[in-house]
Amino acid sequence: MFNNSSKNIDVSIRMLDGAVIRGAILQGHASSLEGVLSKDTPFLEFVSKDGQRKFIAKHQIAYVEPVEPLRKPVLVSPNDPRYVDCYGLLGLQRGCSFDTAKEAYHRLAKQYHPDSYSGLALPSEVERYLTDMFRQINTAFTEVRSETQQRAA
User: What are the domain boundaries of the chain?
Assistant: 8-66, 86-152
CATH classification for the domain delimited by 86-152, as one of 3.40.630.30, 2.130.10.10, 1.10.287.110, 1.20.120.420: 1.10.287.110
Query: φ and ψ at 61, to 5 degrees?
Result: -95, 130
- In this predicted structure, what is the pLDDT of residue 104? 94
Alpha carbon distance 21, 48 (integer Å): 7
CB 11 within 8 A of CB 33: yes
pTM over 0.95: no
Q: pLDDT tens digits, residue range 34-92?
A: 888 888 889 999 998 888 999 999 999 998 988 765 455 555 566 666 667 888 889 99
DSSP-derived 3-state class of residue 29: coil
Task: Give residue-wise pLDDT tens across range 95-107.
Answer: 899 999 999 999 9
The CATH number that domain 8-66 falls under is: 2.30.30.100
Residue predicted with more confidence, 152 or 30: 152
Taking a C-beta distance cutoff of 8 angstroms, is the pair 62, 14 a contact?
Answer: yes
Contact between residue 26 and residue 45 where contact means Cβ atoms under 8 Å apart: yes
